[in-house]
């Protein structure tokens, strides 16, 4: 299995209005480091998993609607808590839609919420 990982970051605002989340219940900002990993069992005809520039652009495009956004009022998060796990799924699904013509490429997204904690989401039924 071969993999390619690209990264970026996104600054958001959100709240997690449930006492389970302690102080994060209140509106706060977060800078999330995002890694997108693309995998495939065999390299393509160019001997790569995916072009690095293309992979970087795909991640940038997936993050664009989130940049400096208040997720509490973002239509894609209506009725959902914008936890890091949910944000990772959102990004993974955006990447999968962009690579719909290449279902052999696996996709996983890792979000580093802080230096000591990260979450991951793997898009099902790919690769």
Rounded CA Rg of the chain: 15
Q: Quick one: pLDDT band at residue 8, thresholds 50, 70, 90?
A: very high
Say how many domains are in the chain. Answer: 1
This prediction has a pTM of 0.95
Average pLDDT across the chain, whole number: 96
> Tokens 């959102």 correspond to what residue?
90
Domain that holds residue 15: 2-123
CATH number at residue 91: 3.30.479.10
Instruction: Extract the tokens encoding 64.
Output: 């664009």
| Position 58 confidence tier, pLDDT thresholds 50, 70, 90 | very high
pLDDT at 127: 74
Contact assessment for residue 18 and residue 81, using Cβ atoms and an 8 Å cutoff? yes
Give 51's pLDDT tier (boundaries 50, 70, 90).
very high
């Amino acid at each position: 299995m071969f993999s390619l990982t690209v990264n970026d970051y996104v600054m958001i605002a959100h709240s997690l209005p449930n006492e389970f989340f302690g102080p994060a219940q209140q509106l706060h900002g977060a800078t999330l480091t995002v890694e997108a990993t693309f995998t495939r069992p065999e390299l393509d005809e160019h001997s790569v998993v995916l072009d690095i520039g293309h992979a970087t652009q795909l991640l940038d495009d997936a993050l664009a609607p989130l940049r400096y956004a208040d997720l509490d009022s973002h239509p894609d998060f209506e009725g959902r808590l914008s936890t890091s796990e949910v944000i990772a799924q959102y990004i993974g699904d955006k990447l999968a839609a962009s690579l719909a013509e290449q279902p052999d490429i696996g996709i996983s997204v890792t979000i580093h919420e802080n230096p000591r904690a990260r979450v991951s989401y793997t898009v099902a039924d790919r690769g």
